[in-house]
Amino acid sequence: MSTNGSRDGFEDASRPALQWLSRQPRWLLLLAVLGALMAGLFLRNAVGGVILLMLAGFLSWLLALSWPVLSTGGRYLRLGTILLLAAVAGIRLVS
């Protein structure tokens, strides 16, 4: 764990949700993320944008938790994916 107090607080606050996620079948999380992605992409209105924005938020939370152990390439790949998802969500929200 990090020696940074705010990082420790973030990890401590995230622990119950992560423990709950770890008890679920792996395929369930994959299905939920893919379902949210497909719903957000197929709903061409603000509802689709909100779904994509929520998915981007969830993925950002996971990225923040895994940041210390990721390689530089892994960080940029995940960050790029989240930014792309947020951009598509923004387009959905304004159109």
In our burial notation (b when 16+ CB lie closer than 10 A, e otherwise), range 38-77 reads eebeeeeeeebbebbbebbeebbebbebeeeeeeeeeeee
pTM of the model: 0.89
Number of folded domains that form the chain: 1
pLDDT score of 22 more than 90: yes
Q: Which domain holds residue 85?
A: 5-94
Q: What local confidence, expressed as pLDDT, does residue 37 receive?
A: 97
